[in-house]
A and B are shown apart, each in its own frame.
Chain A
Amino acid sequence: MISFKNIYFSKAGRLCCGIAAAFLVTVSFSSCDDFFEQDSDHVIFADKDHLNNAVDTMYSVVGIMNKLQALADRTILLGEVRGDLVEVTDEASADLRQIALFEVGDSNVYNQPRDYYAVINNCNYFIAKADTALKNNRDEYIFRREYAAVKAYRAWTYLQLALAYGQVRYVTDPILTKQDADREDSYPLLGIKDLCTRLVADLEPLVPTYANDFPGYGSIAGVNTRLLYFPLYVMLGELQLWAASSKEDYWKAAVFYYNYLSTRNGINTAYTTGNDQLLWTTDNSLPTSWNRPATGIGNGYLAYVSESYGTNTELITMIAGDSARVDGNYSELRNIFNSTTYNDYKPSLQPSRAIQDISEAQYYCFVTDDEDTLYAQRELSKNLTGDLRLADAWFTQENVLNVDRNERVTYQSIEKYRSRNVHIWRRQMVYLHMAEALNRAGYPRFAFEILQEGLSDKNIARDVLPYYSQSDSTRIVNTFSFPSTLYVLAKDPTYTQNTQGIHSRGSGNSAASQYYQFPEFTTADSLELQIDSIEKLIVTEGALEFAFEGQRYYDLMRVALRRNDPAFLADRIYARRGQAHVAEVKSEIKKNLYDTSSWYLSWKGKLGLGK
């Protein structure tokens, strides 16, 4: 029922305008663009000014977070499925299978460069339009924290795009018309190294002021927004690690990572690796049973990473997702890795023979109270041989009844995927990447310390400095500091242990293990050989620690490119199903992985080095 009151009163104004205009039809044409410019209650036009107050800014940053959600799943999947640690099952979608076989078509849902540019264009708009000079009444800049956060979003997105496609169209101004969007050729095409170099230059001026300063949006729908940003130092470390080609470059990367660790929690604080370990025994006596480790293996003791934020929490950055498909930005990773009701208990990915081999190749070492060094039994079932992290992350159970379908299935759970949110960066990665940088900067012993025993000034002085020249030692001491009061290693009587070698997380007491010692070389090129062998250890450690987390393929790629040795990547991927099945895998992957151009995606001939 219409109301007459409405008609006559609310419209009276317009009516009068109409009449007035009707008699002024010879109105000058110069106002045509104003005449045709309309407003709307439902959208905000880009040519109208906004981003000039704090509320708009928050909406815009949240809008970018929103767009980032579309990239979450593929960040993981492109980094994992192309690697050697997982295999697709029969239930996998054709799109996923394409990724595993390096035959990604243009319509593959994971091959849509557009989604990256959705983030980039929103960032570009913000960067171009946000009024960073604006201050509030307490004389604080309103937009600068957001500005730094948005720049980091853009850098991360560009890096992901470059890693997937081998190149990017580098656009820094917002695209506001279809015509601009069509002028692809007017934007430079950058390779990974060029891109990273440019982005380092773009971000570096923002540190240290904004390195750990983030917009404070509290909690959104139960998600601590503190975890939704990409800290500048880590971002810089990542970019520098990809860009690096000289020892100095790697040194710079290591310093970025170190800066993160040393400033994350404020001045004179530490951000240690923590002391969480998977243990066969808790009391350093012999285990009575060799099939039931002390910590809850298979329950994700390490694999499940808490999403809280504190001075000693693992997670650094994640992309938040919705909890139900209908809500829109829902991560499918849970249903791809795990048996769920969404997939009739049939996951699409399963751990490969290769990760089992890598895991079994480790030796779990523990030292008893009597200082006896012992090694866990070999040839145990349930992946308990060697490193325990795989068994912790991967849980299976045969013959489980699917009540919905009334059929029996094998239940699989990858404990790393219990959350609706997708984890991107965590603490161990910072340490491991710092090790990688330090190794290539010429300090393999420093790097190895991160793997084996953990960092503190005490053991750096003992295990690292003596092996390098005076100038190198001085450089290390002047740059890095891991005060032993803050970084506490095992058996320090004064303090509780809070840091350790990464390898110890799954393989027990690595420092004591005869299987995990720094390789000694006596030849003239021993440094190069050391670097080589430590790099392999780092890559292996990456597989153990980050299996299924989307890091593997890019680790292999980075190292293979650095070594100029495509086989470093290719041979491992061909050995996905174990060394015995290399020929079989080679016949399935029709691309020649010894040719680096097969490593990248390409999309419609418009972007990507992939062939």
Chain B
Amino acid sequence: MKRYILFGLSLLMAFPLSVAAQDEDVDEEVEAPVRKAVPKKKQYETRTVKGRVVDASTNQPLSGAIVQAVEFEGYSVLTEDDGTYELKLPIFATSVYVSSPDYNAVRIGLSRDEQQVDARLHTATFDADYSKDMNVRSDYTASDFKYTNALNIKDEIQKQLGAFAYTQNHNATPGVGGVIFLRGLNSLNVNAQPLVVIDDVIIDQQYGRPVVHEGLYNDILSNVNPADIESVTVLRNGTALYGAKGGNGVILIKTKRSHSMATRITASASAGITLEPKYLSMMNASQYRTYASDLLKTTGTRLSDFQFLNENPSYYYYNLYHNDTDWKDLVYRTAVTQNYGINVEGGDAVANYNLSVGYTMAQSSLKENDLSRLNIRFNTDISVTSRLDLKFDASFSNQTRSLRDDGAPSGYDERTPTSPSFLAYAKSPFLNAYSFGRGLFSDSKWEIADEAYLDQALSNYPQYNWRLGNPAALNEYAEGENKNRFENSMLNIAVTPKFTFNPHLALQEHFSYNLVNTNEKYYLPVNGMPAYYVASVGAKRENEVRSLFSRQSSIMSDTRLMWNNRYNAHSIGVFGGVRIMWESFKLNNQMGYNTGSDKTPFMSSSLLNASTVGNTDNWNSITWYAQADYNYLGRYYLQANLTMDGSSRFGPDAGLKLLKAGWGIFPGVQASWVVTNEPWMAGVKGINYLRLTAGFDVSGNDDIDYNAARSYFRARQFLQGGDRASGLSFDGIGNDEIQWETTRRFNVGMEAHFIDNRLALNLNYFRSTTDNLLTYQALGYLSGLEQNWSNGGKLQNEGFDVSFTAKVLALKDWQWQLGASVGHYKNKITELADGAQELMTTAYGATILTRVGQAANLFYGYRTNGVYATAADAAREGLYILGSNGITQTPFQAGDMRFVDLYDDARYPGRIDENDRTVIGDPNPDIYGNIFTSLTWKRLKLDVRFNYSLGNDVYNYMRAQLEGGSRFMNQTTNLLQRWQIEGQQTDVPRISFQDEMGNSRFSDRWIEDGSYLRLKTVTLSYNLPLNSQFIQGLQFWIQANNVFTLTRYLGSDPEFASTGSVLGQGIDLGQLPQSRSIVAGVKINL
């Protein structure tokens, strides 16, 4: 199959390539005119400044460094041999920008005098301090992905942008991505993840779209190879430009374009291994046997003679039930990853191109979860005529995975656990993975007979799924291209012609077509999985098959007119235009039971309970936008933007009603003052640069249900049976006023460089309110329908991010850099829809509370205070629970959890019920960020990066399953301390089949502190100087990831994200934990 992709791609790529080649031919024959428009240089009154440029570590003068006036083109000069320069520049220029190869550039504010302070340049082995463009909005950019082994750029965002983007990986499955929260939690019920803009194209991330496998997240960004990325910018302020899409912040990704006319070829290859993760400590075979035997006593069975409890070694079934299997050995492994890439850039005066091809093969340390990915990207810049430029970009990527469910099951009513990773913990260790016959185990054939050791005892519970599958057999029989596969591909084609009328005025059209196809097959085999009861069907089923296909096509047209000019000290730039987007998403999701055999794993309508669900969501939007940039003397900067958004997802009466549609208006303004460009600040010792920024933005979140604005009917089945019929009835009543959520954000910030630029400090504070929260609210009862989306409720976010970077050592051969970032947000709900004071949501047994005055997404459950040691203790407190009929009272006994009776209801003293719940945890971190340091010795560089999160609570759902003590599943060794005899002091309650007292209910037993500090990456790289004709450079690197994690968290990994939505953060489903990995790579420049 891969062959065809490659073939198709080569066809696709051949076309633009040959066009470029033809151009070259033409150039050879006809003398090519100089096509670049030379900007007409305005004549300003000038003055002369003088200064010197030196190497900051050696104090040696630098010759050949470029000194140029900031904000004025065409005023630059090279330094002399002694490092001095003399530059004539307009009297309005207030700073110069000094750069030199192999050095980081600096900016220097100019004093009124002719003589300026020395420009001291640090070597480029340090991180760059300044960029050429003015950073009015305090954007934060990362651009060094040289040695990344990441499959998804979010890894690098976490490592490099630490506090600027709170990032958590979903789990450790290769390329599965993660979640990012910028500036707190800006929504409650709809998408709170940032907008992703790749090369100026908004790429819908399909947040909230379904996938079939548990533990899989279809992160669209995994389609972009980090090696192809030039820079990632986190846009936290100034998001008004993105109107109703910018409320959650914006991540701007720029892919590589050619910067040189010389052809440069870079080939890279890396390979590595990923070690097995940290495991929970589980009971061994005999401990589990005791546990199972104890639990049996609570099932009410009158039997006492069970095969698995017979301890006579000569008994026929003795061997069958006396193994000590570590199922993890069969499921986990040390994984291998490989990554190859080639990048070609080059061009001439007419056309420049950058072509990259990458291939990645990443095994997962969980067997059968491997990824392979192919990427091709081709970016060109063509100068068609002196006035017409054209960018043509095309990219394609394709990921293929084999997959299994991963993590703890959400429940046991619909099936028995299906994930090998979970079964490896839960499956009884006294069973064997291989089949048993005539008293012997096979050495090659997996055990596929259903577990039988509890058959007699649990025969009265036909609807109870207690049999567990054999994870090794499951892995084998679920293997196949037609069984468990995931494939995602993204194709993007963008054409951007730009016509320049004159040096001040240009018109550009950006047209993009993006296609994302997802294809997923899911198969639970007959062999390896026991038959299980499916509550929603009301019957037992043998196996299950599902399939999902989705296709999203997006067309964007962005037309903009750009104008700029300078009037002496005043510089003005304006652009404005209209962006139209047509989006279409189609989804088809099918499932059915009982395929009959593992040889026929196909979805078909003849399967039992076969069903199909689908969506067709078409939506489009028009955005009118304008932005003006103004600066006076290069000291005072003002950026203002105004966006007007209309969308098919808005109600016709939303916001500003104009031309029969509702429109949102989003203004924003950002102002900066570069204090060091004041003449009186120039030369002040110790302060190299100081910029203060303040701004205010209004932006929105348009993640409105596709049909919320309209009333519609849906077909429903009327009566089940042979000649059934379907009927149409109202399924939605439209909300004419439905609109985007509005976020108003105020920000202030400071960027400063001190002491010869050896200390950089970046400080930002923000405060925002989001109102008109999209909420599923009750409809008026006259509509006949329960709910629809409406706007209501308000929340606040307040926080800061701070980063500093210090050049601790700046010597000729040694450079040591140290830095850290700290981010913080405080979220607060200030109002809920319909005047409600609180909302509760349930997920994985947890109740999640959203209450006015508190942060969103709090864990709300029972408090516990140990375990009753004696019957007398229990009786003294007299607590009880009420049966479902509202009459029966069951008292807590010895060995039960001592729940805290918080709500003192005079009518029902001692009743433990939902009124006794309280806030028991908060998944929002207090602070988060990263710590990074790098040490360079000559050409050898050691780069170390930590990331951390402090003060976030975790609901350890995985532990609740493996320490609940109510099911026939292997449990952690913690259960060895379970209460067993009267008087026993312990904090682990008695075990009890089906947990009638709710000892394992959602309580503070399962809430843990998820704080951690992780040594995320250690990279050692070496740049080999070569002066060969063929090889211009050679870099070697070796990288260790997830080297260690400091945490008190009891689970395998404190970092995870089971969902991208706000409600549900902090629930650990026990999906594949991140583990140590080592990668070595080489990069060759040809």
Q: A118-B784, A322-B720 are in contact. Are A64 and B707 (CB under 8 A)?
A: no
CB pair B782–A171 under 8 Å, yes or no, is: yes
Whole-angstrom distance between the Cβ of A301 and the nearest chain B Cβ: 28
- CA–CA, A46 and B709, complex, Å: 11
CB pair A122–B620 under 8 Å, yes or no, is: no
- CA–CA, A42 and B716, complex, Å: 11
- CA–CA, A11 and B582, complex, Å: 13
CB pair A121–B784 under 8 Å, yes or no, is: yes
CB pair B781–A122 under 8 Å, yes or no, is: no
CB pair A15–B555 under 8 Å, yes or no, is: yes
CB pair B722–A221 under 8 Å, yes or no, is: yes
B698-740 interface code vs A (CB 8 A; 1 in, 0 out):
0000000011001111111111111111111111111111000
* Residue A325 lies at the interface, judged by CB distance under 8 Å to chain B: yes
**What B residues does A178 contact at CB under 8 A?**
733-737, 779-780, 783, 788, 790
Q: A7-B491, A62-B718 are in contact. Are A14 and B725 (CB under 8 A)?
A: no
- CA–CA, A179 and B710, complex, Å: 12
* Residue A65 lies at the interface, judged by CB distance under 8 Å to chain B: yes
CB pair A21–B580 under 8 Å, yes or no, is: yes
Least CB separation from A1: chain B residue: B1
**What A residues does B487 contact at CB under 8 A?**
1-2
Taking residues whose C-beta sits less than 8 angstroms from the other chain, chain B's interface range is 35 or more
* Residue A267 lies at the interface, judged by CB distance under 8 Å to chain B: no
**What A residues does B843 contact at CB under 8 A?**
none
Q: Which of B577, B711, B726, B887 contacts A176 (CB 8 A)?
A: B711
**What B residues does A108 contact at CB under 8 A?**
none
B485-517 interface code vs A (CB 8 A; 1 in, 0 out):
001010100000000000000000101010101
Q: Which of B517, B652, B719, B730 contacts A220 (CB 8 A)?
A: B719
* Residue B352 lies at the interface, judged by CB distance under 8 Å to chain A: no
- CA–CA, A114 and B582, complex, Å: 37
- CA–CA, A338 and B737, complex, Å: 49
**What A residues does B660 contact at CB under 8 A?**
32-33
Whole-angstrom distance between the Cβ of B708 and the nearest chain A Cβ: 9
Q: A33-B659, A42-B614, A220-B718 are in contact. Are A114 and B785 (CB under 8 A)?
A: yes
**What A residues does B713 contact at CB under 8 A?**
43-46, 50, 63
**What B residues does A461 contact at CB under 8 A?**
none
**What A residues does B781 contact at CB under 8 A?**
112-114, 117, 181, 603, 606-607
CB pair A114–B784 under 8 Å, yes or no, is: yes
Q: A40-B618, A93-B885, A175-B782 are in contact. Are A32 and B719 (CB under 8 A)?
A: no
**What A residues does B620 contact at CB under 8 A?**
35-36, 38
Q: Which of B555, B616, B652, B718 contacts A65 (CB 8 A)?
A: B718
**What B residues does A90 contact at CB under 8 A?**
885, 887
Whole-angstrom distance between the Cβ of B510 and the nearest chain A Cβ: 9
CB pair A169–B782 under 8 Å, yes or no, is: yes
Q: A59-B727, A62-B718, A66-B727 are in contact. Are A177 and B659 (CB under 8 A)?
A: no
Tell me which residues from 37 to 89 in chain A have a Cβ below 8 Å from any Cβ of chain B. 37-47, 50, 56, 58-67
* Residue A327 lies at the interface, judged by CB distance under 8 Å to chain B: yes
* Residue B578 lies at the interface, judged by CB distance under 8 Å to chain A: yes
Among listed A23-31, A371-379, A563-571, interface-contacting one: A23-31
Name which of A21, A42, A607 has the most chain B CB atoms within 10 A of its CB. Answer: A42
Least CB separation from B619: chain A residue: A38
Chain B residues touching A, majority SS: strand
Tell me which residues from 528 to 546 in chain B have a Cβ below 8 Å from any Cβ of chain A. 536-538
Q: Which of A64, A180, A221 contacts B729 (CB 8 A)?
A: A64
Least CB separation from B579: chain A residue: A25
* Residue A324 lies at the interface, judged by CB distance under 8 Å to chain B: yes
CB pair A25–B648 under 8 Å, yes or no, is: no
Q: Which of A7, A21, A66, A183 contacts B718 (CB 8 A)?
A: A66
Whole-angstrom distance between the Cβ of B834 and the nearest chain A Cβ: 11
Least CB separation from A322: chain B residue: B720
Q: A15-B555, A36-B661, A44-B713 are in contact. Are A221 and B618 (CB under 8 A)?
A: no
CB pair B538–A324 under 8 Å, yes or no, is: yes
- CA–CA, A184 and B715, complex, Å: 28
**What A residues does B582 contact at CB under 8 A?**
14, 18
CB pair B782–A66 under 8 Å, yes or no, is: no
Q: A125-B730, A181-B779 are in contact. Are A22 and B722 (CB under 8 A)?
A: no
- CA–CA, A251 and B725, complex, Å: 41
- CA–CA, A50 and B724, complex, Å: 22
CB pair A63–B727 under 8 Å, yes or no, is: yes
How many residues of A are in contact with the other chain, CB < 8 A?
Answer: 95
- How many contacts between A and B, using CB within 8 angstroms? 261
* Residue A399 lies at the interface, judged by CB distance under 8 Å to chain B: no
Least CB separation from A183: chain B residue: B780
Q: Which of A15, A39, A177, A406 contacts B733 (CB 8 A)?
A: A177
Q: A121-B730, A177-B734, A223-B719 are in contact. Are A45 and B711 (CB under 8 A)?
A: yes
Least CB separation from B301: chain A residue: A406
Q: A171-B782, A322-B720, A324-B538 are in contact. Are A32 and B712 (CB under 8 A)?
A: no
CB pair A120–B727 under 8 Å, yes or no, is: no
B527-568 interface code vs A (CB 8 A; 1 in, 0 out):
000000000111000000000000001010101000000000
Least CB separation from A324: chain B residue: B538
* Residue B886 lies at the interface, judged by CB distance under 8 Å to chain A: yes
Whole-angstrom distance between the Cβ of B438 and the nearest chain A Cβ: 36
Whole-angstrom distance between the Cβ of A158 and the nearest chain B Cβ: 12
- CA–CA, A181 and B511, complex, Å: 42
* Residue A580 lies at the interface, judged by CB distance under 8 Å to chain B: no
* Residue B646 lies at the interface, judged by CB distance under 8 Å to chain A: yes
CB pair A121–B555 under 8 Å, yes or no, is: no
Q: A122-B730, A178-B790 are in contact. Are A326 and B538 (CB under 8 A)?
A: yes
Q: Which of B511, B519, B723, B730 contacts A219 (CB 8 A)?
A: B723
**What B residues does A220 contact at CB under 8 A?**
718-719, 721, 723-725
CB pair B646–A43 under 8 Å, yes or no, is: no
CB pair B536–A176 under 8 Å, yes or no, is: no
CB pair A177–B735 under 8 Å, yes or no, is: yes
Whole-angstrom distance between the Cβ of A109 and the nearest chain B Cβ: 13
**What B residues does A97 contact at CB under 8 A?**
886
- CA–CA, A29 and B509, complex, Å: 20
**What B residues does A114 contact at CB under 8 A?**
781, 783-786
Q: A30-B659, A33-B652 are in contact. Are A62 and B725 (CB under 8 A)?
A: yes
* Residue A222 lies at the interface, judged by CB distance under 8 Å to chain B: yes
* Residue B681 lies at the interface, judged by CB distance under 8 Å to chain A: no
Q: A46-B712, A114-B784 are in contact. Are A38 and B648 (CB under 8 A)?
A: yes
Q: Which of B538, B578, B615, B727 contacts A42 (CB 8 A)?
A: B615
**What A residues does B517 contact at CB under 8 A?**
2
* Residue A9 lies at the interface, judged by CB distance under 8 Å to chain B: no
Whole-angstrom distance between the Cβ of A441 and the nearest chain B Cβ: 37
* Residue A305 lies at the interface, judged by CB distance under 8 Å to chain B: no
**What A residues does B783 contact at CB under 8 A?**
114, 117, 121, 175, 178, 180-181
Q: A176-B711, A179-B737, A322-B720 are in contact. Are A122 and B784 (CB under 8 A)?
A: yes
* Residue B808 lies at the interface, judged by CB distance under 8 Å to chain A: no
**What A residues does B536 contact at CB under 8 A?**
326
Q: Which of B509, B729, B730, B885 contacts A23 (CB 8 A)?
A: B509
- CA–CA, A519 and B451, complex, Å: 75
**What B residues does A46 contact at CB under 8 A?**
710-713, 730, 734
* Residue B647 lies at the interface, judged by CB distance under 8 Å to chain A: yes
* Residue A588 lies at the interface, judged by CB distance under 8 Å to chain B: no
**Nearest 10 interchain pairs by C-beta:** A221-B721, A118-B784, A62-B727, A181-B780, A22-B557, A63-B727, A63-B729, A181-B783, A221-B719, A33-B660
Can you give 28 A-B contacts (C-beta < 8 A)? Answer: A1-B519, A15-B513, A32-B661, A33-B660, A38-B619, A38-B620, A40-B618, A40-B707, A42-B615, A46-B712, A63-B727, A66-B716, A66-B718, A90-B887, A114-B783, A121-B784, A122-B730, A171-B782, A178-B733, A178-B735, A179-B736, A180-B782, A181-B782, A181-B783, A182-B780, A221-B718, A223-B719, A322-B719
List 12 extra interface pairs beyond A4-B8, A221-B719, CB under 8 A.
A1-B487, A22-B509, A25-B577, A40-B712, A94-B885, A114-B786, A175-B780, A177-B711, A178-B735, A179-B653, A179-B737, A404-B462
